[in-house]
Amino acid sequence: MNYSVILKWSEVWAVIIPVLIYLYKKPNEKYIKPVIWYLVIALILNIICDIIGENYYNEPKFIVAINYNLPFYNLHSIIRLFLFINFFHLINVPANKFIKKILPIVIAALVVFNFLFLDSFKNFSSKIFTIESIVLIVYCIIYFLAILGADDASNNFNSSLIIVTGLAVYESVCFPIFLFYDLLSKKFQDYAIDIWDVHNIMYIILCLFIARAFYGRIKI
């Protein structure tokens, strides 16, 4: 098995790592629940996407392969967005209760509007992935500012900080990929395929951060 195959299937095996750590350590923090739900759903969706890609990726009509598995990528982005919003709300980010209630409604309205009037759900939606990145990056920034401004900051192990750090790294690096991927896939298909490897590497990093958070403090 060569490097390209390993990286291609990283969307599957990378997710399995934090799932196994979760089953082993069984962290019981309330905010872990939406994260583990995300991982389970992501694992299912990524298996579907990669199996479809394996069967259709090398077909002469490349666009057929896109239309077969890209709806699942759109669904993945939406699920990741809202489950991590739930994660942030469980760690009281943002602290303002009105914003906490209204923001998911506004984001849901944007998602519905996008697929009703702008993009077809069967094609990759750069707009949805971009919205995901912007929203989650903003949540991450709010979290980091809250941590920096906290009076009771300590050196105790904080699994939420590790998860947010991994998410911030993933979303920040992938933001330009998401923003321009629709254009690249239409005009520069080979480059679009190659640049998705960067996404897969960052996804591995995200999963490793989550796995580290699930593992907890390492006793020396």
CB 168 within 8 A of CB 137: yes
Give CA–CA dist 218/85, Å, rounded: 28
pLDDT at res. 124: 87
Domain boundaries, the chain: 3-215
Quick one: tokens of 178?
Answer: 């998401």
The tally of CA atoms less than 13 A away on the side-chain side of residue 120 is 6
H or E element: which one contains 116?
A: none
Within the chain, which residues score under 50 in pLDDT?
60-66
Cis peptide before 94 (omega within 30 of 0): yes
Write out pLDDT tens, residues 188-197: 777 777 888 8
pLDDT at res. 154: 65
Quick one: tokens of 105?
Answer: 């409604």
Residue keyed to tokens 């299912």: 44
* pTM (predicted TM-score): 0.90
pLDDT at res. 220: 61
